[in-house]
Structures are given as structure tokens and as C-alpha cells.
Amino acid sequence: MDPSAALRERGLRVTEPRLRVFEAVGRYPHADADTVLTEVRRTLPTVSVQAVYDVLHALTDAGLLRRIEPAGHPARYERRVGDNHHHVACRGCGALGDVDCAVGHAPCLVPSSTSGFTIETAEVTYWGLCPACRAAGTT
Amino acid sequence: MDPSAALRERGLRVTEPRLRVFEAVGRYPHADADTVLTEVRRTLPTVSVQAVYDVLHALTDAGLLRRIEPAGHPARYERRVGDNHHHVACRGCGALGDVDCAVGHAPCLVPSSTSGFTIETAEVTYWGLCPACRAAGTT
DNA sequence: CACCGTTCCTGGAATCATTCAAGTAAACGC
DNA sequence: GCGTTTACTTGAATGATTCCAGGAACGGTG
């Protein structure tokens, strides 16, 4: 999908920073704001911190990016949207991996009592160790 | 369970701040650090911010409290530990509710591919609206 | 029950990710 | 091209949490 077209499609103006941010997240899946900033500045050294945060929000609101916030770590962004997949987070280094949900509507995702809340989405985060941290013995 | 005994049991010294913090979390389930601080200061006006954070960490490490970090909100603490229950978070106000897991080991909680990660726990967060926010029309 | 090492608490400052504010600049439709 | 709208820039602020150094309390021991 053409990034420019994707932006226009959602009524977003096509700007250099937006294209670069979108592309950077594509190249670095699960990148945090700082990684995106650094990456974008490689080819567009003048972008401001706020521009990046701004763009990330705009793209997230437009449904082009998905925001992930693992407890205790800065927010990450990914381009894989629209499918029902979840994440594994490493207790050691915070690395993130994708996990496809084997069963779309597992029993556990239809809670028994909801305390009166209207439920819209279920979000699953698995916690464990990535191969690198396991090898390093980070128990 | 006697709080003092619980503390001693885990090799923690019994101090006034610890008892008050523990008790405050019991009275305000899903309280954040600030709420605990305010509440403890009602009866112990001199406690410092750091003492509260310190105690919350110590109790969490000792397994007496569980720390919950809903995306976009300060960390919360609860005394209900050891059982496999999850949470509903309100998109509007951030209120939290408990959700018992209908099926302890649902298929969805045993992911198909794990990107090489060793998985230890699965954490489920439901997002929706609490009764109050629904009534207020916070769409 | 006084002693002492360990553990804890206090006050103040620092950190990190993120956001706010105000002005300037660039994108799109005509 | 021209104006309106939206986006970006610079600079500073915010909020949750943590670091640091010194002083105080706990509680096992003699």
C-alpha cells in the first residue's frame, strides 16, 4: 500500500515527516518514539521531537499504526493493524514479539463477570524471556 | 490474615508505614500511589512520597501486593494476589474492575508461535466503559 | 535491656517520556 | 498563485517515578 495514498485516504495531509515516520515504523517493528526520532533524523535531521510524537498520534488515531504500551516501558508502535494479534514482552530487556492468537474468541476472552463495564476489546500480553536474555541468564 | 504476621512471614520488618500502606490498599482496591499516599497521610501525616513508593515496591516484591499498569495510567496496586484474575479498564476515566477468568487455561492463552520467547505469564486487559462513563456519554 | 549491624525512612533533587503553548510554515482546494 | 486550514518548530512544563545521602528505627544478641 502506498503510504501517501494511505494518508490521503484518511484525510491526513501528506508531509515529509509523516512519510518518514510511517516508513521508519515499518522498518523497525515495535519501535519506540525515540527510535523513530533517531531513524527519521538520519534522512531529515531537522524534525522536532514533538513532530514525531504528533505524527505518531495522528497515524495511530487514523488507524495506520497501533500503539503498544508494555508496563514499565515507553510506548511502542507497529504497522500491523486490523488483525487480532498479541504480544510477548521480555521481562529482561523489554523486547517485543508478535503472537498470533490461535483461537480468535477463546473462552477466556469472554469474561464471566464484568463489574458492569461494557467491554470493547481484549488485550493479551505474555511475559517471559527473549532468547537473548535467557542465554544471558537474566533469571 | 494479620498484616503484621504477613510481613514477618516474608522476612519484612513490621513498620508503621508498611502497615498503613497495606491497609490502605485493602480499603481502596486498585489504588494508585497517590491515593495510597493521601490515605496513609490521614493517619500518619509525616510519611514521605518515597516511603510509600518504597513500601509498595517491597510489598509487591514480597508477593503481598500486585502491581497493575494500565496503558496511559499511573500504576495501581491490589491485595488480591495468587489467583488468576484479570482486569477491565475504562477508556474514559481509567477506572478498574476485576474479572475472573472463566477458563484458567484457555486456548488463547497458549499461543501458537512465541518468537522464541519463553513465556511465563499471560496478562489480559479488557478495555471498555465503566457504568458512569457510559451514562455520561463518553463515546 | 543496651548494643550494633541491618534495614528503613526522610527531604530534596533528578530523570524520563510525554505534552502544552505560541508562533511560523507548509499543504491542499479554488 | 492565494487564502485557509492544518502541521511543524522552538522552548518550556508536567507527572509519575526514582536516585541520593544522611539520619533513625528495628530486633537479634550478649
Average pLDDT over residues B12-34: 92
Question: Which residues from the 7-66 window of protein chain A have CB within 7 angstroms of nucleic acid chain D?
Answer: 12-13, 15-18, 46-51, 54-55, 58
The reply to whether B107 and B124 lie within a common domain is yes
0.75 surpassed by pTM:
yes
Provide, as residue numbers in chain B, all residues whose Cβ is less than 8 Å from the Cβ of A115.
Answer: 88, 97-99, 130
The reply to whether A42 and A96 lie within a common domain is no
Tens digits of residue pLDDT in A34-56: 999 999 999 999 999 999 999 99
Sign of torsion, CA B88 B128 B109 B106?
positive
The reply to whether B61 and B87 lie within a common domain is no
The reply to whether B71 and B91 lie within a common domain is no
Provide, as residue numbers in chain B, all residues whose Cβ is less than 8 Å from the Cβ of A125.
Answer: 122-125
The reply to whether B68 and B126 lie within a common domain is no
* 8 A C-beta contact, residue B74 and residue B32: yes
- In chain A, how many domains are there? 2
Q: Which of the 8 DSSP states describes residue A117? A: P
Average pLDDT over residues A120-134: 89
Identify the domain boundary among A31, A61, A76.
Answer: A76
Give the pLDDT score at B111: 61
The reply to whether B31 and B88 lie within a common domain is no
The reply to whether A10 and A59 lie within a common domain is yes
Residue at the smallest CA–C1' distance to nucleotide C26: A15
CATH number assigned to the domain comprising residue A105:
3.30.1490.190
Write out the residue range of the structural domain in which residue A96 sits.
83-135
The reply to whether A53 and A7 lie within a common domain is yes
Strand C proximity list, CB < 7 Å: A 8, 13-16, 32-34, 49-50, 53, 57, 69, 74-75; B 12-13, 15-18, 46-51, 54-55, 58
Give the pLDDT score at A103: 53
The reply to whether B93 and B54 lie within a common domain is no
The reply to whether A7 and A64 lie within a common domain is yes
CATH number assigned to the domain comprising residue A54:
1.10.10.10
The reply to whether A15 and A63 lie within a common domain is yes
Q: What is the largest CA-CA distance in chain B?
A: 52
The reply to whether B101 and B69 lie within a common domain is no
* Cβ–Cβ gap B126/A103 under 8 Å: no
Tens digits of residue pLDDT in B66-106: 999 999 999 999 997 777 788 999 998 899 998 876 554 44
What is the rounded CA–CA span in Å between residue A67 and residue A81?
10
Question: Which residues from the 82-111 window of protein chain B have CB within 7 angstroms of nucleic acid chain D?
Answer: none
Tens digits of residue pLDDT in B115-139: 788 888 888 898 999 998 888 864 4
